[in-house]
Amino acid sequence: MTILPLSYLPSVEWFAHALRGDCLVDLGEHFVKRSERNRARILAADGPMTLTAQVAHADRPRQPMPTVRLDYSKRWQHQHWGALVASYKASPYFDHYAPALEPFYRREGAFATLAEWNLALVETLCGLLRIPPPALSESYVEAAAGDVDLRPRHSEGPAFRAEPYVQVFCDRQPFAANLSVIDLLFAEGPAAVSILRRSLP
């Protein structure tokens, strides 16, 4: 079994495991600051860029993921959508997939918690990729011998092979591996699933 964190716009590696199956998303773990729980990496004109969903009381220790609330006092949704448009509007499939994602960045306050936001985005991305969403666990998942645990502060999983694809700024930048899956989706469209399938041994 592979244990996945509930991440914001998860990475190509995250979705490669989800596609392979036998995965469980751990909703019962504690929030980890400066992690993929509320951070996603995209490709901007000058290189990889991190988008951070703002959360309230991020410094509280051992905060269960389902209780972490989004902080709408800063216009981070607007900033994120502006960054996504600036980065990917020239990519081949942006116009095809953007309408499914834009509402997440236009409805301020629609999601109370980070977990609700992340889960809705994961379900949308799975729908766009046409893959079944992974199973969820409401309680903390203890990794057993032989499990692959991709939560931060845990062991690494099997070797992830980032298969190169044509990224939007390939004329000026080297290939940036393992960004958010939206980078792959906007670049490759329906072919993204084949790349995900070839990315794990």
Domain range annotation of the chain: 2-197
Provide the pLDDT for residue 144: 85
Contacts made by residues 156-164, CB under 8 angstroms, sequence distance 24+? 157/2, 157/13, 157/17, 158/200, 158/201, 159/201, 160/13, 160/16, 160/199, 160/200, 161/198, 161/199, 161/200, 161/201, 162/12, 162/13, 162/199, 163/195, 163/198, 163/199
Provide the pLDDT for residue 156: 54
CB-CB contact of 77 with 93 (8 Å): no
The angle subtended at Cα 86 by Cα 41 and Cα 179, nearest 5°, is 20
Residue with tokens 């298969």: 163
Task: Select from 133, 113, 126 the least CA-distant residue to 38.
Answer: 113
- Across-strand partners of 105? none
Spans in the chain with pLDDT lower than 70 = 152-159
Share of residues in the chain with pLDDT > 90 (%):
73
Provide the pLDDT for residue 141: 85
| Residue 89 to residue 22: CA distance in whole angstroms | 34
Provide the pLDDT for residue 95: 97
Provide the pLDDT for residue 201: 72
Sheet bearing 2-5, strands edge to edge:
135-137, 23-26, 2-5, 148-149
Torsion of CA 58, 65, 150, 21, to 10 degrees: -150
